[in-house]
Structure 1
Amino acid sequence: MDRRKMLGLAGAGAIGAAAAGVAGATLIDGATHPAQAADAGAAIPFYGEHQAGIVTPAQDRLHFVAFDVITDKKAELVELLEKWTHAAARMTQGRDAGSIGAVNGAPEAAPDDTGEALGLPPSGLTLTIGFGPTLFRTADGKDRFGIADRRPAALADLPRFAKDALKPEISGGDICIQACAHDPQVAVHAVRNLARIGFGVVSVRWTQLGFGRTSSTSRGQVTARNLFGFKDGTANLKAEDTQLLKDQLWVQPGDGAEWMTGGSYVVTRKIRMLIETWDRTSLGEQEAIIGRNKGEGAPLGGKGEFDEPQFAAKGADGQPLIAADAHVRLAHPDANEGARLLRRGYNFVDGSDGLGRLDAGLFFIAYQRDPRRQFVPVQTRLARQDSLNEYIRHVSSGLFACPPGIRAADDYWGRALFA
């Protein structure tokens, strides 16, 4: 038995007991995943047709990191991707990042694992990688690795949206890695070790910690709430929506850039919520802005959370029950030519801003087949018309191409791109 798994049995049992009452498993893309958190300490398969961490039922914690590649040598980058893949395969199964481990090496040498996850179970850890536009060609036009002609058309730079207040230092990046787990220490351990392994080849550009998932990615999960107190992601794509996932999530043959077939594109947006202003807003106005009631999460005029919004319905005053600038109306697929996203967002609280106001909000993560036809038109509409804009600020943005899954132990992240 693996040393860490043996040490972690007691912890896994405790976590499993805490999740009692949630049972069963779901067969997703040929691999069995926990339907919700039947065993929050369990391991998620690393190998498969698609990368884990996309349709995987959303875990409770996030550590997202964006790297800049600081070498111009393709061989060094490929070697790092090979090392990262090997370490990721180990860590997602509850093992040390390297074969020597945190405590078994020579005393005079640095260990090949940092050790803070010793004794902890895998905790549903998933690691998902993506490649940003600047990996293919830098902002000054340099093709460092001879892959500029392999940049997918769907990885087009995002436009500047109305009311954007983006900070360049926490936006973009050559490579991203999304670490999700039920234990924050497990997620942080994974990112810390990948950064350690990448020393001299990549540098950390920015990171984001998240807690309290704000979207459900499986029908076995209840809808979560964001920091405004509203249920978020009611109409999200779900892992069980096989045909919708094919149409809206996974890159298909013929989409261009064949190395991306079976992959997906992820958009990240750090959205600061003006918490104090929102908290002084009346309940009725909050519900009108969102277009749903705050308790059940039902669309205004409906009874249940999953009732379809009736956009033509009017109140006694003759006005639409769901306002023209309500968030739910503007984001609905009917208003966006059927475009849908698979969201995996998380709440964040990064302390205060120095003026006694919470630096808090939503770290938005959305996977899709083609951002040009999905995220961009939806966000364009929201940025121009959404009444929620009075209470939020978009301060960070990222776009990355996430390749398909790893099929075997001799494969590595991005092999089809660099081959």
Structure 2
Amino acid sequence: MTVDQSPTPHEGLSRRGLIGLALGAGAAGIAVGAGAGVAAAAAVRAGQDGGAASAYDFHGSHQAGITTPVQDHLHFASFDMMAGADRDDLITLLQDWSYAAARITQGLDVSATGAVGGSPQAPPDDTGEALGLAASGLTITFGFGPALFEKDGVDRFGIAARRPAELERLPAFLGDDLDPGASDGDLCIQACADDPQVAVHAVRNLTRIAFGRARLRWSQLGFGRTSRTTQVQQTPRNLFGFKDGTANILADDTEALDEHVWVGAQDEPAWMAGGSYLVARKIAMLIETWDRVQLAEQETIVGRTKGTGAPLSGGDEFTEPDFSGDAMPETSHVRLAHPDFNGGNRILRRGYNYVDGNNTLGRLDAGLFFLSFQRSPSQFVQLQRALSTDVMNEYLRHVGSGLWAVPPGVTAGSYIGEGLFA
């Protein structure tokens, strides 16, 4: 099946996508119903919270989930294409994902027949755990990893020549103890929502759609955002108890976004214009060790007061730090990460806390799932290297890592990454 012959997202899921839903549920057949599922799901959504459910449009010049007000919950997933998958498999997968994402971000089921509108003798198209729930501000953001373009010297999908020059596996950094099973991947999905069940539902169903074309490599649940992207959002706290993301780039700062986050029209390759680059880092925090550190030392390490979040040089949380005196230690996190000491370099952060239970020593397996968007991967590399002398590193271990090119947004009837295949 060629791309021209493939169904466009507004027509519905491809045959492969429908088969994936069925086989992903453990059966071989599926029935395609009429449009009753759309009306039923829409009625459910309209009746939820008096019809006031928050929903972000999947379509737009940029992908949602970057400057969107940061939601409270995350389900991040990394995928590898299956051995033997070809270019048409990749294209139809992206079409199917785009079609499904455009629906579920509006509080609808993944397809027209949905969870209850199909044949009772066939597995449902939709898993159904989000029935009756509002859209909950769900956003779905897709990214393409370096190995999608070339893996072990093989151009599996005929796109190696269109790989962005900077899209390479991140270099090794001081303090890395990376788990290959929680790093990298051909494709990624960032699903953010104000209801954790809505985010999980999104990744669960997109994984089913991918059956036979891509497989889940690893995933991560996150809670309690560690940044803000709007003026009205309060600055949250990380698991060390400090306010995090005070100086983050905000959605209304279009000048900073154009300079530091969005790939420009003059950048290469042209198909990435309006897109960005996503870095994910799973950072384990040595919680019990940190909890035994004196408050004054904690504040010296961070460079801010724990209570108000004000810089140690004085003022309130949003006062610009004064580095001229001795109040801000040279090895403090705030100083080392500040644009004044990094050539004006800034990134947009969208991190989350995570707790994955306890380890074998009975300590919390917890930390920060760091997410950042930047115009160029070199911005993150520069900042991470600048933090090599950060005293906070004594309490951190970087255990997962990945870099993905995030294509620009799409219009209705198009699909994510279409420009790559033009």
Contact 1:5 1:119 in 2 (8 A): no
Q: In the TM superposition, what are the counterparts of 1:266-281 in structure 2 within 5 Å?
A: 266-281=278-293
What is the alpha-carbon distance in structure 2 between the residues aligned to residue 154 and residue 50 of structure 1? 20
Report the CA distance between 1:253 and its aligned residue: 1.4
Q: Under a length normalisation based on structure 1, what TM-score does the superposition of the two structures give? A: 0.90
Q: In the TM superposition, what are the counterparts of 1:215-254 in structure 2 within 5 Å?
A: 215-254=227-266
Letter in 2 for 1:300: L
Cα RMSD after superposing both structures? 1.3
Report the CA distance between 1:154 and its aligned residue: 2.4
What is the alpha-carbon distance in structure 2 between the residues aligned to residue 8 and residue 94 of structure 1? 6
Are residue 330 (structure 1) and residue 336 (structure 2) matched?
yes
Report the CA distance between 1:6 and its aligned residue: 3.1
What is the alpha-carbon distance in structure 1 between the residues aligned to residue 85 and residue 105 of structure 2? 30
- Structure 2 unaligned segments of length 5 or more: list them: 1-37
> SS of the counterpart of 1:72?
coil
User: 1:366 pairs with 360, 366, 372, which one?
Assistant: 372
Contact 2:287 2:364 in 1 (8 A): yes
What is the alpha-carbon distance in structure 2 between the residues aligned to residue 112 and residue 3 of structure 1? 14
> SS of the counterpart of 1:210?
strand
Per-residue CA distance 1:22-42 (angstroms, 9 max, x = gap): xxxxxxxxxxxxxxxxx6x31
Name the residue aligned to 2:40. 3
User: 1:404 pairs with 408, 411, 415, which one?
Assistant: 408
Letter in 1 for 2:415: Y
> SS of the counterpart of 1:351?
strand
Letter in 1 for 2:369: F
Contact 2:45 2:107 in 1 (8 A): no
What is the alpha-carbon distance in structure 2 between the residues aligned to residue 389 and residue 205 of structure 1? 28
Contact 2:225 2:350 in 1 (8 A): yes
User: 1:302 pairs with 314, 322, 325, which one?
Assistant: 314
Q: In the TM superposition, what are the counterparts of 1:108-127 in structure 2 within 5 Å?
A: 108-127=121-140
Letter in 2 for 1:393: R
Are residue 136 (structure 1) and residue 173 (structure 2) matched?
no
> SS of the counterpart of 2:283?
strand
Per-residue CA distance 1:325-366 (angstroms, 9 max, x = gap): 100000001111011010000000000012110000000000
Per-residue CA distance 1:248-296 (angstroms, 9 max, x = gap): 0000012111000000000000000000000011000000000000011
User: How many residues were matched structurally?
Assistant: 384
What is the alpha-carbon distance in structure 2 between the residues aligned to residue 160 and residue 224 of structure 1? 29
Letter in 1 for 2:44: L
Report the CA distance between 1:312 and its aligned residue: 1.1
Contact 1:268 1:365 in 2 (8 A): yes
Cα–Cα, structure 1 residues 2 and 225, in superposed 2: closer, same or farther, change >3 Å? farther
Identity, % of aligned positions: 60
User: 1:395 pairs with 396, 399, 403, which one?
Assistant: 399
Are residue 99 (structure 1) and residue 112 (structure 2) matched?
yes
> After the TM superposition, which parts of structure 1 deviate over 2 Å for at least 4 consecutive aligned residues?
1-13
Letter in 2 for 1:355: L
Contact 1:4 1:121 in 2 (8 A): no
What is the alpha-carbon distance in structure 2 between the residues aligned to residue 80 and residue 54 of structure 1? 22
Q: Under a length normalisation based on structure 2, what TM-score does the superposition of the two structures give? A: 0.89
Name the residue aligned to 1:36. none
Report the CA distance between 1:110 and its aligned residue: 1.4
Report the CA distance between 1:302 and its aligned residue: 1.1
Report the CA distance between 1:10 and its aligned residue: 5.9
Name the residue aligned to 1:35. none
Per-residue CA distance 1:177-207 (angstroms, 9 max, x = gap): 0000000000000000000000010000000
User: 1:381 pairs with 357, 380, 386, which one?
Assistant: 386
> SS of the counterpart of 1:7?
helix
- Structure 1 unaligned segments of length 5 or more: list them: 17-38, 314-319
> SS of the counterpart of 2:93?
helix
Contact 1:4 1:120 in 2 (8 A): no
User: 2:272 pairs with 260, 277, 280, which one?
Assistant: 260
> SS of the counterpart of 1:75?
helix
Report the CA distance between 1:148 and its aligned residue: 0.6
What is the alpha-carbon distance in structure 2 between the residues aligned to residue 261 and residue 366 of structure 1? 18
Contact 2:313 2:323 in 1 (8 A): no
Letter in 2 for 1:126: T
> SS of the counterpart of 2:280?
strand
What is the alpha-carbon distance in structure 1 between the residues aligned to residue 315 and residue 340 of structure 2? 20
User: 1:413 pairs with 385, 404, 416, which one?
Assistant: 416
Report the CA distance between 1:11 and its aligned residue: 4.6
Letter in 1 for 2:41: R
Name the residue aligned to 2:15. none
